[in-house]
Amino acid sequence: MKKFLVIMGLIIPVLFSLRQVALAGTIQGQVTATNPKYVNEVIIYIRKAEGSFSSKIKDSAMDQKNMKFTPKVLPILVGSTVTFQNGDSVKHNVFSPHGGGYDLGSWGKGETKTHTFTKPGVYAQLCNIHPEMEAHILVLQNPYFAQASKDGSFKIAGVPPGEYELKAWHYKLKVKPQSVKVEGGPVTVNFDL
């Protein structure tokens, strides 16, 4: 009997997670904007989802090249580490006034520095040598996010069933969130900025 319970204890969570995967849905849609150049800078994400996502943490990179942060917008899952690299022959600095603030210092070509983002939020990335340089790292609570492509389409796959608040974020615009119900299969949500 005890052995049976132990086996069931192992099997049930596996079956449950398989069921979740089988029922997972896709949120897809189209972003349109008065200024079309904003479209590709929009991140669509679920504000809050249940569960622990530490296994989905992925490291990312941001370059400083041709006097610009590249990419200009970077969405990451909370807990991820970003490697900052300098691809220019001049020195650059990286600092942010957000999340308590940090300053990684200034360094030259070929060197890198890292920063781990432990709290969700928007972190402006600035260079104190070149005030015109600016990028944004959006640190998210869960891995269900996507960046709109140049044509405005986006797709968030593998979303567990549930009701969520879906947000479209752009560093210059305020966009009204929408509620979305995922039941397995695709759901379409469009945003007009």
Residues of this chain that interact with Cu ion (CB under 5 A) are: 92, 127, 129-130, 133
The Cα–Cα gap between 43 and 80 comes to 17
Residue 39 DSSP symbol: G
How far out from the chain centre does Cα 103 lie? 22
Cα atoms found within 13 Å of the Cα of residue 160, Cβ hemisphere only: 13
Closest residue by beta carbon to Cu ion: 127
d(C-alpha 90, C-alpha 108), whole Å:
6
**Which of 97, 91, 72 is closest to 129 using CA atoms?**
91
Residue 114 Cβ vs Cu ion, minimum distance, rounded to whole Å: 18
Residue 27 or 137: which CB sits closer to Cu ion? 137
Report DSSP letters for 117-141, one per residue. Answer: --S-EEEEEE-SS-TT-EEEEEEES
User: CA–CA separation, 33 vs 42, rounded Å?
Assistant: 10
